[in-house]
Amino acid sequence: MPNLSTTDLKKALLAEGFEIYRTLGTTVILADRVRDNLIMDSAVAVVCEDVLRARFTARAQRNDFPGESEEQLFQRAREQVSGALESGYREVQTTVVPIRDPSDGTRTLDTWYDVNFEKSVADVSELAVELRFALSLDKTASRA
């Protein structure tokens, strides 16, 4: 376990100017404020387990690329953030996320193809640099 509890980590992140969206176990998810009154998940998080890890999710959405295979959609997500690999991030997981209609749970509105990337960091100051980098990335593939 790092020398930081999740509570201490959240305090350190707030002191660095980050907003917290929510905490899930040992994962602290950062917020993205798209307007003053609207706060959203930023797809950027910190995993606080044996070591601190900056994490972000890149995505391709099926509705944006109809007819493409699952692997092609994952590849689009990877290509969207290819510069992160050069900065030391590594792919850790892929996930297919069906987006259900809130008024009819049997109907799928879209499907997201998520690729998660992580980078281990030594301390909170290095973490802050990586989180700012991850927040700056355009993490959603789109048609040009």
pLDDT in tens, 86-130: 999 999 999 999 999 999 999 999 999 999 999 999 999 999 999
User: What span, in angstroms and rounded, lies between the C-alpha atoms of 55 and 34?
Assistant: 20
Global pTM reads 0.90
Classify residue 83 by burial, with Cβ atoms within 10 Å: 0-12, 13-18, 19+: exposed
Helix (H) or strand (E) segment spanning residue 13: helix 6-15
Task: Name the pLDDT band for 1 (thresholds 50, 70, 90).
Answer: very low
Q: Is the pLDDT of residue 13 over 50?
A: yes
Span 21-71, pLDDT tens digits? 999 999 999 998 776 667 777 899 999 988 999 999 999 999 999 999 999
Amino acid at 142: S
* 81 pLDDT above the threshold of 90: yes
Q: Is the pLDDT of residue 76 over 70?
A: yes
Strands (DSSP E) found in the chain: 20-24, 27-35, 38-48, 52-61, 90-101, 104-121
- Averaged pLDDT, 134-144: 90
